[in-house]
A and B are shown apart, each in its own frame.
Chain A
Amino acid sequence: MTLTATGVRAERPTTTRRRGGGYAGYAFLAPVLLYVVVFFGYPLVANLVMSAQDYTVRSFYTGEAPFVGFANYAAVLANPLFTTAVLNTVLFTVGSIAFQFGIGLALAVFFSGRFLGSATLRSLLLLPWLLPLVVSGAVWRWMFDQDHGVLNAVLRLVDAPVPWLTSTEWALPAVVITNIWIGIPFNLVVLHGGLKAIPPTLYEAAELDGASGWQRFRFVTWPLLRPVTGIVLMLGLVYTIKVFDVIMVVTGGGPANATQTLTTWSYALSFRDFAFGQGAAVGNLLILVATAFGLLYLRSLRATLAEAAS
Chain B
Amino acid sequence: MKIRIVESKLDPADAVFQADHPPGTPWMHEIKKGQIFRIVDLEGNQAVDTLFYNARDTQERYSLTHTMLAQQNLYLGVGTQIMSSENRPMLTIVADTCGRHDTVGGGACSSESNTVRYALEKRFMHSCRDNYMLGIADHPSALHKRDVVSNINFFMNVPMTPAGRLTFEDGISGPGKYVELRAEMDILILISNCPQLNNPANGYNPTPVRYLVWDAPSALAGAA
**A and B found bound together:** no
Query: Residues on B close to A: CB < 8 A?
Result: none
Query: Residues on A close to B: CB < 8 A?
Result: none
